[in-house]
Amino acid sequence: MVTETSKEKTHPGDGNVIISVDAMGSDRGPSSVIAGMAKCRDANPNIGFIVHGDSAQLKALLNRRDDLASVCEIRHADDVVTMDARPGHVMRNGRNTSMWSAVDAVRNKEATAVVSCGNTGALMAVSMTRLRRLPGVDRPAIACLWPSHNPGGFNVMLDVGADIRANADDLMQYALMGASYARTGLGLERPRIGLLNVGAEEHKGRAELRAAHDLIDQAAPDAGFAFVGFVEGGDIPSARVDVIVTDGFTGNIALKTGEGTAMLIRKFLRTALGRSPLSRLGALLAAKSLRGLHKAIDPRHMNGGVFLGLNGTVVKSHGAADATGVAAAIRLAFRLAQPEFTERLAAQVASCGRARHDAGNDHNADGESE
Amino acid sequence: MVTETSKEKTHPGDGNVIISVDAMGSDRGPSSVIAGMAKCRDANPNIGFIVHGDSAQLKALLNRRDDLASVCEIRHADDVVTMDARPGHVMRNGRNTSMWSAVDAVRNKEATAVVSCGNTGALMAVSMTRLRRLPGVDRPAIACLWPSHNPGGFNVMLDVGADIRANADDLMQYALMGASYARTGLGLERPRIGLLNVGAEEHKGRAELRAAHDLIDQAAPDAGFAFVGFVEGGDIPSARVDVIVTDGFTGNIALKTGEGTAMLIRKFLRTALGRSPLSRLGALLAAKSLRGLHKAIDPRHMNGGVFLGLNGTVVKSHGAADATGVAAAIRLAFRLAQPEFTERLAAQVASCGRARHDAGNDHNADGESE
């Protein structure tokens, strides 16, 4: 490992949107991260990168990619945050990691958004410490995209794992943040928000959910979203809503349950189509359409959990993401890397904060994160 | 509606396993319930029924089915529990409903198990009142079958909606009850139990989950199951576990998320295969295999939530179940209608209850149910 901390100053490109990329967190090593950056650069001439990690490795990987290298600054970091690192340990000892350096590029306004494949808990801890929460935000949240029956093909769900707890005020803030995300990320002017519960009737669910129901309902007219009330698990991919609000425990379980179900059905489909010569021929004829289906339900194409509620945009890519997955996360970061996104989100939370009641508010937001 | 309460004494069949069926709760009316019973009777000569509801309607429906009528006793009930009825209201005013009558047939030892398509909350309330909890059980649970990568094709998950809360002791009892279900329902001698959480590491999740982890771990050797520790949402359909333990809020969301995801993918598959003449031809050739796939992920074939922890077996069928769905629920009731099932489950809970600590135990079990 190279020991000196050097700044390889090249030229991320004047006027380009600069994305800061942690190249070292991925299970597949930096090569898949660089390959994902190259895919994005090929498709988008307005993108530039600051890439963080072991400069010798990164230089070697960029050597073969002149086009990417021309818009890419390498920033050396000695250390890497491992997948099993505890967030508290990284906060105390992580100054020399590529993750820390990547987040600091957003803190220092050198980049508009950061992408990392690293450990979720550590990335959230470093992001909270270095970027700080937006004024009025008690708990940041992680938002994911979910394939849906809606015309745009995706719904947003949050929180999917930033914090296992959320009180009524937190859930109300998630509604505001999710609405901002849907406006910028999905291009929806007036997103429809649903609150996840075990039934659609207003008397159902835990007390904090009923309180959140009333808070979100009151906030909806001024915040420019429509509140559809309680929704159930089956509504997450539905065309009834654009944004599903829940606590990070439930959201994480739902997300992984959906992924697990999709994987099970893909396996069943493969087995079914390989069963007889006739069905193998059928599968061959329908191959193009089936590839379209696999793409529609392929988790790689919706890769990227967005941390909302911080002074800057942070996108967490899946640790096992390949080039396609990393490219999806970078594209998402690019779409959200509009200065108005964070500003508008902050304004929304602040204006609602003035109106909302403070009773029972929990300001301890450095709790357990996933 | 017929007003007198009559007992149409026919002959459910000597030596047969008698299933008590509430014919009136279904969204589709009693005809689909009777059709489901007929399917089961055709496939299983050892089954008999006591069927509860409007005797005029039921007589008319049975008129055309001599074979079924010969093993079917009609028991008239004036009232029906509606889908939007509050459980408390049904407990106070439900004596003349077909649901109450159906549960009472198990209470009176005339039938070994009861099947109803009615309102879940009301069915749980009536079952708790009339059958009573097993000694030592604080909260009964609803267990469902989940298609899985395991050789048997199914995993068990509980609780999926009996109660939105569960403390560490409740979760430990769910593990015992789920193990009994897997032994009798899936034929597994030593089921593997997993506790649902947001990560597999032991320090993750809420405090009651970490406490439940230790309780279940301690109970495993004597209770004859293997404890695999924490599992994540993606493990619910996996071959790592046979039984997934969680609280009724999380379980209900996961169940409905899985169903919603399966429905989304079915729609995508249909769209993909109809896209071009070539893929339509391919789908035609693979039609038989695709039917097999649809059957494997068709929620109707795994219909039936089982209420565990009561003095008797109660199976809740989906309200919208057609004949195929009702037949699946009745088959499940038949499989669990072995007197040893409830007895062994009771013995397991009792022997573990003697060992487990009582601190923090919540004996209020008439709380909100779904």
Across the range A184-209, mean pLDDT stands at 87
Query: What is the least distance, in Å, from the CA of B164 to any CA of chain A?
Result: 7
- Let me know if residue A322 belongs to a domain: no
Q: What is the largest CA-CA distance in chain B?
A: 67
Minimum CA–CA partner of A273 in chain B: B289
> Would you say residue B238 has pLDDT above 70?
yes
Inter-CA distances, B349 with A73, A99, B133, B174, B361, Å:
63, 49, 11, 10, 15
Query: Whose CA is closest to B107, among B80, B130, B81, B124?
Result: B130
Confidence of residue B49 (pLDDT cuts 50, 70, 90): very high
Minimum CA–CA partner of B164 in chain A: A205
A245 CB neighbours in chain B (<8 A) are: none
Higher pLDDT: A366 or A136? It is: A136
CA angle B347, B348, B350 (to 5 degrees): 65
Across the range A164-175, mean pLDDT stands at 94
Query: What is the least distance, in Å, from the CA of B11 to any CA of chain A?
Result: 41
Higher pLDDT: B56 or B320? It is: B56
B83 CB neighbours in chain A (<8 A) are: none
> Would you say residue A2 has pLDDT above 80?
no
Q: Which of A88-92, A136-140, A149-153, A287-291 has the lowest mean pLDDT?
A: A287-291
Digit-coded pLDDT (tens) for B17-44:
999 999 998 888 899 999 999 999 988 8
- Let me know if residue B39 belongs to a domain: yes
> Would you say residue B115 has pLDDT above 60?
yes
A297 CB neighbours in chain B (<8 A) are: 264-265, 268
B253 CB neighbours in chain A (<8 A) are: 196, 198, 232-233, 246, 250, 253-254
| Closest residue to A279, CB basis, from B235, B275, B288 | B288
Higher pLDDT: A168 or A262? It is: A168
Cis link prior to B84 (omega < 30° from 0)?
A: no
What percent of chain B shows pLDDT beyond 70? 89
Across the range B180-191, mean pLDDT stands at 91
Query: What is the least distance, in Å, from the CA of A7 to any CA of chain B?
Result: 37
Q: What is the DSSP letter of B237?
A: T
| Pairwise CB contact (< 8 Å): B262 & A265 | yes
| Closest residue to A252, CB basis, from B198, B260, B288 | B198
Q: What is the DSSP letter of A300?
A: G
- Let me know if residue B345 belongs to a domain: no
Confidence of residue A254 (pLDDT cuts 50, 70, 90): very high
Report CA A282 to chain centroid distance, whole Å: 38
Supply φ then ψ for residue B319, to 5 degrees. Answer: -60, -30
> A146 and A114, same structural domain?
no
> A90 and A182, same structural domain?
no
Across the range B175-201, mean pLDDT stands at 91
> A356 and A215, same structural domain?
yes
- Let me know if residue B246 belongs to a domain: no
The complex's ipTM?
0.83
In the beta sheet, which residues pair with residue B20?
Answer: B50, B114
B367 CB neighbours in chain A (<8 A) are: none
> Would you say residue A356 has pLDDT above 90?
no
Model confidence, pTM: 0.85
Q: Going by C-beta distance under 8 Å and a sequence separation of 6 or more, which residues neighbour residue A298?
A: none
Query: What is the least distance, in Å, from the CA of B44 to any CA of chain A?
Result: 29
* Alpha-carbon gap, residue A50 to B256, rounded angstroms: 42
Q: Which of A12-16, A18-22, A149-153, B195-199 has the lowest mean pLDDT?
A: A12-16
In the beta sheet, which residues pair with residue A178?
Answer: none
- Let me know if residue A314 belongs to a domain: no
Query: Whose CA is closest to A129, among A97, A96, A92?
Result: A92
| Pairwise CB contact (< 8 Å): A273 & B283 | no
Digit-coded pLDDT (tens) for B208-225:
999 999 999 999 998 999
3-class SS of residue B306: strand
| Pairwise CB contact (< 8 Å): B268 & A237 | no
What percent of chain A shows pLDDT beyond 70? 89
| Pairwise CB contact (< 8 Å): B289 & A296 | no
Query: What is the least distance, in Å, from the CA of A245 to any CA of chain B?
Result: 13
Cis link prior to A27 (omega < 30° from 0)?
A: no
Where residue A98 sits, what CATH number does that domain have? Answer: 3.40.718.10
| Best residue of A261, A284, A318 to probe chain B, by most B CBs closer than 10 Å | A261
The domain in which residue B30 lies consists of: 1-131
- Let me know if residue B49 belongs to a domain: yes
Minimum CA–CA partner of A203 in chain B: B368
Q: Going by C-beta distance under 8 Å and a sequence separation of 6 or more, which residues neighbour residue A9?
A: A73
Confidence of residue A364 (pLDDT cuts 50, 70, 90): very low
Digit-coded pLDDT (tens) for A95-133:
999 999 999 999 999 999 999 999 888 999 999 999 999
Give me B358's structure tokens.
């009582």
> A347 and A240, same structural domain?
yes
A292 CB neighbours in chain B (<8 A) are: 272, 275
The confidence score (pLDDT) of residue B366 equals 39
| Closest residue to B257, CB basis, from A233, A272, A297 | A233
Minimum CA–CA partner of A292 in chain B: B272
Minimum CA–CA partner of B261 in chain A: A258
| Closest residue to B233, CB basis, from A260, A284, A287 | A260
| Best residue of A195, A198, A301 to probe chain B, by most B CBs closer than 10 Å | A198
| Pairwise CB contact (< 8 Å): A289 & B268 | no
Q: Where are the alpha helices (DSSP H) in B87-204?
A: 87-93, 98-107, 120-131, 168-185
> Would you say residue B306 has pLDDT above 80?
yes
Minimum CA–CA partner of A288 in chain B: B279
CB contacts < 8 A, A to B, total: 201
- Is the distance from CB of B179 to CB of A350 less than 8 angstroms? no
Confidence of residue A13 (pLDDT cuts 50, 70, 90): low
> Would you say residue A304 has pLDDT above 90?
no
Q: Please, what sign has the CA dihedral across residues B266, B267, B272, B273?
A: positive
Mean pLDDT estimate for chain B: 86
A288 CB neighbours in chain B (<8 A) are: 276, 278-279
Query: Whose CA is closest to A246, among A284, A204, A196?
Result: A196
Query: What is the least distance, in Å, from the CA of B362 to any CA of chain A?
Result: 17
Supply φ then ψ for residue A241, to 5 degrees. Answer: -135, 160
Query: What is the least distance, in Å, from the CA of B234 to any CA of chain A?
Result: 4
A370 CB neighbours in chain B (<8 A) are: 198-199, 204
| Closest residue to A283, CB basis, from B147, B250, B282 | B282
Confidence of residue A51 (pLDDT cuts 50, 70, 90): very high
| Pairwise CB contact (< 8 Å): A164 & B206 | yes
- Is the distance from CB of B255 to CB of B220 less than 8 angstroms? no
> A160 and A123, same structural domain?
no
Q: Which of A131, A149, A183 is the last residue of a domain?
A: A131
* Alpha-carbon gap, residue A113 to A21, rounded angstroms: 9
| Pairwise CB contact (< 8 Å): B261 & A263 | no
* Alpha-carbon gap, residue A346 to A135, rounded angstroms: 7
> A149 and A109, same structural domain?
no
* Alpha-carbon gap, residue B159 to B170, rounded angstroms: 10
The confidence score (pLDDT) of residue B9 equals 47
| Pairwise CB contact (< 8 Å): A234 & B257 | yes
Q: Which of A131, A155, A175 is the last residue of a domain?
A: A131
The confidence score (pLDDT) of residue B152 equals 86
> A279 and A199, same structural domain?
yes
| Pairwise CB contact (< 8 Å): A257 & B236 | yes
| Pairwise CB contact (< 8 Å): A260 & B238 | yes
Across the range B253-266, mean pLDDT stands at 88
**B94-126: b (≥16 Cβ within 10 Å) or e:** beebbbbbbbbbbbeeebbbbbbbbbbbbbbbb
Confidence of residue B241 (pLDDT cuts 50, 70, 90): very high
Q: Which of A80, A103, A131 is the last residue of a domain?
A: A131
Minimum CA–CA partner of B274 in chain A: A289
| Pairwise CB contact (< 8 Å): B268 & A297 | yes
> A151 and A125, same structural domain?
no
Q: Which of A308-312, B55-59, B289-293, B322-326 has the lowest mean pLDDT?
A: B289-293
The confidence score (pLDDT) of residue B361 equals 44
Digit-coded pLDDT (tens) for B82-109:
888 888 899 999 999 999 999 999 999 9
* Location of structure tokens 């075990």: A198
Query: What is the least distance, in Å, from the CA of B330 to any CA of chain A?
Result: 25
> A190 and A70, same structural domain?
no
Mean pLDDT estimate for chain A: 86
Q: Going by C-beta distance under 8 Å and a sequence separation of 6 or more, which residues neighbour residue B152?
A: B186, B187, B188
**Could you give the number of structural domains in chain A?**
2
> A293 and A266, same structural domain?
yes
B293 CB neighbours in chain A (<8 A) are: 265, 268-269, 272
Minimum CA–CA partner of A234 in chain B: B260
B290 CB neighbours in chain A (<8 A) are: 272-273, 279
A263 CB neighbours in chain B (<8 A) are: 234, 237
Digit-coded pLDDT (tens) for A268-298:
888 877 777 877 887 778 777 777 777 766 6
Confidence of residue B358 (pLDDT cuts 50, 70, 90): very low
- Amino acid (1-letter code) at residue A216: I
> A29 and A43, same structural domain?
yes
- Let me know if residue B363 belongs to a domain: no
> A281 and A210, same structural domain?
yes
